[in-house]
């Protein structure tokens, strides 16, 4: 059913969706738009949002923008044409997304943003994001501790257009730079990508064979870096990630990557749907538009409790 609908939307677009009769569910349709599900983080968001929406009686349509603002705008137009009740969005760029969310608002469709902010307030109804600054500081404190407060390290940065790349780096350095014996020998972007991180790590290793640690802006890059380090026989290098993925959890349990920072992505997506539901029923979410959710440090002590971007009690 879901696959069929997704195909229909992409194949026939606006005309077809306009012609389609209303959906069977009582509460209407909610669009869930995220980056590619290749990254399990975004998949967890989509799964979390979809599950909560169904529990609350909504039908869902799940779409991916692949971090392409043009594609995102097309998806918004599709969703608007389809007459969705609300849009749950992990967006494709802090600046570029403003127009898409504004277009939905103009069409009377409220947007509820998760994970990434846009650079304006008053357009989306909610922006629920992980407290990346707090989380990055947690990760950096653990990294410094693991490094014994000294040594050469590299930093892998996320995609530049993404606010979260900047804020995590800034949180890392607010801690690490307080330690004069921590020396950053390389700082490069790998655009959140595992394969890019592998290549970048290989290059960094060649130039800095005496490197002791790598702090990464997300888990997929940490996985790429770890694979390159393993291939080079450098499993002594301390790697710390960010996100709290199952892949990194498994690596931590196997003694590979040392730590990561959990963003409560699953809960965040569910919360966005709950706020959408409340807004649709009462005209208000009852909370501020922009909300910061705290992150949690994951290391060998609690990795066991981590599953799909949520920590068991």
Partner 1 sequence: MMRAMTAILGLSLGLMELGACKIVPNPEPGSESAASQTDDDRMAAKAGEIYAAQLVPYVAQKAIELPTLTGALQGGFDAAGQAHGVRPQAEGSPWNFLLKGQGTVIEANRESRAATMALDTTGDNQADVTIQLGPVIKGTALRDAADFIVFTDYRDQIEFAKLARALNDRAHGAVKLPEGDLTGKTFRFEGAATLRTATDPILVVPTLLEAAP
Which stretches of the chain bind partner 1, using CB under 8 A? 94, 117, 119, 121, 128-129, 131-134, 137, 163-164, 166-167, 170-171, 174, 178, 264, 267, 271, 287-294
Q: Closest CB to partner 1 among 45 and 247?
A: 45
Nearer to partner 1, 5 or 52 (CB): 52
Whichever of 226 and 266 has its CB closer to partner 1, that residue is: 266
Using the minimum distance from each CB to partner 1, give the nearer residue, 38 or 294.
294
HEC-encoded secondary structure of 55-69: HCCCEEEEEECCCCH
**Rg of the Cα atoms in the chain:** 20
CB of 198 to partner 1, least distance (A): 28
Q: For residue 114, which of 130, 92, 93, 94 has the smallest C-alpha distance?
A: 130
Here the tokens at position 254 are 């196997």
- Strand 86-89's sheet: what is its strand order? 59-64, 29-34, 86-89, 111-114, 126-130, 290-293
How far apart are CB 228 and partner 1 at their closest, in Å?
29
The distance of closest approach from Cβ of residue 119 to partner 1 in the complex, given in angstroms and rounded to an integer, is 6
| Nearest C-alpha neighbor of 155 from the set 218, 232, 207 | 218
- Cα–Cα distance, 109 to 86 (Å, whole number): 6
SS3 (DSSP) at 268: helix
Nearer to partner 1 by Cβ, of 8 and 311: the residue is 311
- In the block, residue with structure tokens 């969705």: 84
Output the smallest distance, CB 302 to partner 1, in A. Answer: 15
Nearer to partner 1, 157 or 239 (CB): 157
Angle formed by the axes of helices 69-82 and 2-19, to 10°?
A: 70
C-beta of 204: minimal distance to partner 1 in Å?
26
Nearest to 41 by CA among 171, 161, 162, 145: 162
Q: 32 or 262: whose CB is closer to partner 1?
A: 262
- From residue 51, alpha-carbon distances to 157, 185, 244, 272, 310 in Å are 32, 44, 20, 12, 14
Smallest gap from residue 171 Cβ to partner 1 (A): 7
Least Å distance, CB 22 to partner 1, is 32
Instruction: Name the minimum Å distance from CB 176 to partner 1.
Output: 12
Greatest pairwise CA separation for the chain in angstroms: 66
Encoded tokens for 3: 């696959």
Specify the residue, 59 or 243, whose C-beta has the smaller distance to partner 1: 243
């Amino acid at each position: 059913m879901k696959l069929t609908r997704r195909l229909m939307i992409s194949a026939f677009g606006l005309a077809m969706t306009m012609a389609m009769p209303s959906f069977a569910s009582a509460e209407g349709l909610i669009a869930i738009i995220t980056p590619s599900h290749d990254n399990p983080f975004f998949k967890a968001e989509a799964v979390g949002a979809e599950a909560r929406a169904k529990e609350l009686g909504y039908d869902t349509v799940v779409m991916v923008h692949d971090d392409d603002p043009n594609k995102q705008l097309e998806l918004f137009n599709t969703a608007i044409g389809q007459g969705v009740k609300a849009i749950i969005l992990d967006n494709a760029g802090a600046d570029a997304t403003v127009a898409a969310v504004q277009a939905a608002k103009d069409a009377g469709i409220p947007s509820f943003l998760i994970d990434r902010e846009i650079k304006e307030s008053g357009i989306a109804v909610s922006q629920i994001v992980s407290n990346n600054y707090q989380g990055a500081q947690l990760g950096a404190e653990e990294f410094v501790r693991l490094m014994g407060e000294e040594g050469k390290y590299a930093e892998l940065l996320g995609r530049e257009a993404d606010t979260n790349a900047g804020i995590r780096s800034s949180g890392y350095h607010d801690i690490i730079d307080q330690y004069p014996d921590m020396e950053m020998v390389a700082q490069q972007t790998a655009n959140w990508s595992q394969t890019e991180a592998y290549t970048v790590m290989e290059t960094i290793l060649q130039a800095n064979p005496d490197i002791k640690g790598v702090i990464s802006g997300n888990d997929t890059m940490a996985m790429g870096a770890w694979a390159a380090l393993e291939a080079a026989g450098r499993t002594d290098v301390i790697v710390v990630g960010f996100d709290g993925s199952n892949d990194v959890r498994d690596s931590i349990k196997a003694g590979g990557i040392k730590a990561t920072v959990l963003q409560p992505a699953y809960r965040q997506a569910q919360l966005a749907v709950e706020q959408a539901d409340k807004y649709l029923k009462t005209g208000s979410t009852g909370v501020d538009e922009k909300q910061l959710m705290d992150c949690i440090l994951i290391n060998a002590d609690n990795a066991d409790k981590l599953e799909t971007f949520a920590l068991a009690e």
